[in-house]
Amino acid sequence: MSRTRKPPGYGSLSLRGAALLYVGLLIVLPVIAISSRALGGGITSLWTQITSPQAMAALKLTLLMAFIMVLINVVTGTAMAWVLVRYRFPLKKVINAMIDIPFAIPTVVTGIMLVVLYGPRSILGTLFSRMGVEIIFDKPGIVLALLFVTFPFVVRSVQPVLMEMEPDMEEAAQTLGASRSVTFFRIVLPTLLPAILTGAALSFSRALGEFGSVVIVAGNIPLKTQTAPVYVFGEIESGNVQSAMGVSLFLLFSSFLVLVMLKLIQNRSQRHVEST
Amino acid sequence: MSKAPERVEVLPRTQSPLRHLISGSVLLWFGLLVLLPLLGIFRETIKTGPQIFLNSLGAPGSRHAFYLTLLITVVAVVLNTVFGTILAIVLSTQKFKGKILLEGMIDLPFAVSPVVAGLMFIILYGPNGWLGSLFSAAGIKIIYALPGMIIATLFVTLPFVVREILPVLNEFGREQEEAAVVLGASRWQTFWRVTLPSIKWGLAYGVTLTIARAIGEFGAVLVVSGGIINQTQTATLYIHDQFTDFNTAGAFAAALVLAAMSFAILTVIQVVYKKKGGDHPC
C-alpha cells in the first residue's frame, strides 16, 4: 500500500509550501540572518564583543540571577505541586487555577507591581531598606521578578507526574520500615526528577531571556544591575547593533541548547516509561 | 476521581504538624510572591481615585495604545490560527525531508529572548536587511512601523496553536477523514465536518493563549517599534513609557486594565481547558 502510494497532490504540496514559507519568514530566515551578521564580522570581533567588561558583567549577572532563581523555584515549585496533589485544603481549586497567573500577566505589569509593593516609597520597601536591603533597582528585585514570571514552570511539570504516581512503591518502602524522609528521597524524588529538571530548564531559559519585568525593577546600571537582554536592548537603542551581536548570539545559542536538552529529557523519560 | 479518596488516605496517615507546616509555608510563599503584588497595584490605583484613573485611561496616548494592542492581537490571532492549523496538519499528515527540523524550529519562540527576537527582525526586515531592502524598494516600511510590530507578535505567539492541536491531530488518526473521503466528501468538506470539530477545543485553547501573549508582549515589540507615541505604542509600551516618565498614575491605570484582562483570559483558559478534556491537575 505505502509503496504504491501516489505522490502528494497539489493540495498537500501547497499546504506544505504555505507551512514552510510561514516558518521560514518568521523563524528560520531571521535566525539565519542574525547568525550570518554576527559571524560575518569574524570570530575575533565576536569574542571581543562578548568579553567587553559591560557584556561580560551582564552575562555573569544574568546567569547568577537565573541560577539563584532556579534553586529556589525547584524547591518551592515541587513543594507547591506536592501540596496541590497530595493535601486537601480549602479553596484548593481556586489556588490551583491561580498558579498560571504569572503566565497571563504582561511582564511590564509584573515589573510595575513589584515596584509598587517593594519600591523605595512602599511600606515593605522602607522596611527592608531600614534593614539595609534594597530590593527594587537592585539584585534582589531581579531575582524576585524572575521568581514571579517562572513560578508556574516547575509546578506544572511536576504536578501531572505526581498525580499519575501510584502509591505502591511508597507504601512498600514504608512497610519495610523506611522512614518518611528515606521514602521521599529514595522513591519519590527519583521518579519526579525528569519533571523537575524539565521545569528547571524551562525556568532557566525563560530567566536568561526575560526582559519586561527585569528592565523595570533592575535599575539597569551597567556593570552592576544590567542583565544580558537589557544590555542588548541598550546597544540597539544607542545604535550599536553590531556590538550587541556577541551577547545576542550567546542567548540564541543557549535557547537552542535548552530546547535540545528538553528533547533529550523527554525521550529519556519516554523510553523509561516504555521499558517498565 | 472515585479512586482519589482511597489514595489520599493511605499515604499521609496522620495529620502531622509537618504537613501543616509544609502546606502553610507553600501557600504563604505563593501568596507573598504572586498574590500580594496584585493586591498592591489594586490598592495603589484605588488610592488615586476613580477620576484620575478614568482620566489617565482616556488620554489620547492611552486610547491609541489600547487600540493598537487590539489591532495587533486580532491580526496575530487570525494569521496564527490559519497558519498554525496548516502547520499542524502538514506535520501530522505529511512526511518530507527536514520535517524534524521544522518541528524543532516551531518551539524556538518559547525559548528565545524577546529582545533577541526583535533584533533578528531588525536585521532581516530593517531597511538594509535581506528582505527589508526589497520592501523598502517597494516603499513599504516594516521596522519601526506597524508591520514589524505585527511580525514580532506573530513570532512570539506562533507555537501556541500548533502545539495545542498537533497532539490532537496525531492521536485522532486519519481513519475518520479517510472514511469521509471514501464516502465522497471533498477535502474542504472533510476539514469542516470531520477535522475541525475534533480539534475545536484544542484550537480554542491555543487561541486563548495566543491572545494572552499578544496582549502582553513587550520586549520584541519594543525593539522593532521605535516607540513613537500615538503611532507605534501598544498598551505595554505605553505603560513602560509612562512609568519611565514618572507619570505613575497613567502607568498604574493602564497596568490595572491589562491585569484585569489577563484575569479574564485566565478564567476563559480554565473553562476551555476543561472543555478540551484536559485533566487539569487537581
Average pLDDT over residues A3-7: 53
Percent of chain A with pLDDT over 90: 68
pLDDT > 90? residue A123: no
Per the listing, cell 469542516 goes with B192
pLDDT > 90? residue A226: yes
Contacts of A265 in chain B (CB under 8 A): none
Domain check: are A19 and A109 in the same one? no
Q: Closest CB to B266: pick one of A18, A100, A258.
A: A100
DSSP chain B: -TTHHHHHHHS--S--HHHHHHHHHHHHHHIIIIIHHHHHHHHHHHHH-HHHHHHHHHSHHHHHHHHHHHHHHHHHHHHHHHHHHHHHHHHHH---TTHHHHHHHHTHHHHS-HHHHHHHHHHHHSTTSHHHHHHHHTT---TTSHHHHHHHHHHHHHHHHHHHHHHHHHHH-SHHHHHHHHTT--HHHHIIIIIHHHHHHHHHHHHHHHHHHHHH--HHHHHHH---TTTS--HHHHHHHHHHTT-HHHHHHHHHHHHHHHHHHHHHHHHHHHHTT-----
Q: What is the pLDDT of residue B226?
A: 80
Mind spelling out the 3-state secondary structure of A150-162?
HHHHHHHHHHHHH
Residue B219 CB coordination number (10 Å): 28
- What CATH number labels B47-275? 1.10.3720.10
Burial of residue A125 (number of CB atoms within 10 Å: 0-12, 13-18, 19+): buried
CB contact under 8 A, A100 and B269: yes
User: Residues 176 to 215 of A: which have CB under 8 A from any B CB?
Assistant: 205, 208-212, 215
Among chain B residues, CA nearest to A247: B116
Domain check: are A22 and A129 in the same one? no
| Per-residue model confidence as pLDDT tens digits over A18-53 | 999 999 999 999 999 999 999 988 899 999 999 999
Distance CA B249, CA A125 (A): 19
Residue among B130, B90, B207 at smallest CA distance from A22: B90
Domain check: are A137 and A19 in the same one? no
Q: Is residue A153 part of a domain?
A: yes
Q: What is the pLDDT of residue B154?
A: 98
Segments in chain B below pLDDT 50: 1-13, 280-282
Q: What is the pLDDT of residue B119?
A: 97
Q: Closest CB to A19: pick one of B34, B90, B115.
A: B90
Distance CA A25, CA B83 (A): 12
Distance from CA of A152 to the nearest CA of B (A): 10
Distances (CA, A) of B109 to A118, A205, B115, B148, B242: 31, 11, 11, 16, 28
Instruction: Specify the length of chain B in residues.
Output: 282
DSSP for residue A167: S
| Per-residue model confidence as pLDDT tens digits over A155-167 | 999 999 999 888 8
Residue A276 vs residue B241, higher pLDDT: B241
User: Residues 40 to 69 of B: which have CB under 8 A from any A CB?
Assistant: 40-41, 44
Q: Is residue A7 part of a domain?
A: no
Residue among B60, B81, B52 at smallest CA distance from B157: B81
pLDDT > 90? residue A174: no
CB contact under 8 A, A83 and B26: yes
The number of folded domains in chain A is 2
Distance CA A140, CA A145 (A): 9
Q: What is the pLDDT of residue B59?
A: 93
Domain check: are A196 and A67 in the same one? yes
Q: Where are the domains of chain B?
A: 47-275
CB contact under 8 A, A159 and B281: yes
pLDDT > 50? residue A125: yes
Buried (b) or exposed (e) across B40-60, using 16+ Cβ within 10 A?
Answer: bbbebbeeeeeeebeebeebe
Residue B19 vs residue A200, higher pLDDT: A200
CB contact under 8 A, B113 and A103: no
Distance from CA of A115 to the nearest CA of B (A): 9
Which of A116, A137, A151 to mutate: most B Cβ within 10 Å? Answer: A116
Residue A145 corresponds to which cell in the numbers above?
A: 521578578
Per the listing, cell 498574590 goes with B35
User: Residues 24 to 63 of A: which have CB under 8 A from any B CB?
Assistant: 25-31, 33-34, 37
CB contact under 8 A, A27 and B23: no
CB contact under 8 A, A112 and B104: no
Q: Is residue A1 part of a domain?
A: no
Domain check: are A74 and A118 in the same one? yes
Residue B210 corresponds to which cell in the numbers above?
A: 495566543
Residue ranges making up the domain that contains A66: 52-275
Q: What is the dihedral of CA A29, A35, A36, A37, to 10 degrees?
A: 110
Contacts of B80 in chain A (CB under 8 A): none
Burial of residue A84 (number of CB atoms within 10 Å: 0-12, 13-18, 19+): buried
- Residue A151, C-beta contacts closer than 8 angstroms, at least 6 positions apart: A73, A77, A99, A102, B30, B33, B34
Over its C-alpha atoms, chain B yields an Rg (Å, rounded) of 23
Per the listing, cell 499546504 goes with A15
At residue A274 the predicted structure's pLDDT band, cuts being 50, 70 and 90, is low
Q: What is the pLDDT of residue B146?
A: 95
Q: Does A108 touch chain B (CB under 8 A)?
A: yes
Ramachandran class of A90: left when φ > 0, alpha when ψ lies in -120 to 50, beta otherwise: beta
Residue A162 corresponds to which cell in the numbers above?
A: 505526581
Q: Does B131 touch chain A (CB under 8 A)?
A: yes
Residue B204 vs residue A171, higher pLDDT: B204
Distances (CA, A) of B115 to B6, B73, B165, B194: 50, 19, 28, 41
**How far does CA B172 lie from the centroid of its chain?**
25
Distance CA A212, CA B213 (A): 13
CB contact under 8 A, B212 and A15: no
Domain check: are A186 and A91 in the same one? yes
At A20, the amino acid letter reads: L
Domain check: are A23 and A150 in the same one? no
Q: Does B167 touch chain A (CB under 8 A)?
A: no
Q: Does A106 touch chain B (CB under 8 A)?
A: yes
Domain check: are A59 and A119 in the same one? yes
Residue A196 CB coordination number (10 Å): 20
Average pLDDT over residues A196-216: 96
Among chain B residues, CA nearest to A147: B33
Residue B268 CB coordination number (10 Å): 16
| Per-residue model confidence as pLDDT tens digits over B147-185 | 999 999 999 999 999 999 998 888 876 777 778 888 888
Size of interface A-B (CB pairs under 8 A): 266
Q: What is the pLDDT of residue B3?
A: 40
Q: Closest CB to B120: pick one of A30, A114, A233.
A: A30
Contacts of A115 in chain B (CB under 8 A): 243
Q: Closest CB to A209: pick one of B86, B112, B255.
A: B112
Q: Does A64 touch chain B (CB under 8 A)?
A: no
At B193, the amino acid letter reads: R
Domain check: are A101 and A143 in the same one? yes
Q: What is the pLDDT of residue B15?
A: 59
| CATH code of the domain containing A111 | 1.10.3720.10
- Residue B109, C-beta contacts closer than 8 angstroms, at least 6 positions apart: A27, B117, B155, B156, B157, B158, B159
Residue A269 CB coordination number (10 Å): 17
What ipTM goes with this model?
A: 0.91
Distance CA A218, CA A231 (A): 12
Domain check: are A201 and A78 in the same one? yes
- Residue A258, C-beta contacts closer than 8 angstroms, at least 6 positions apart: A201, A202, A204, A205, B111
Q: Does B114 touch chain A (CB under 8 A)?
A: yes
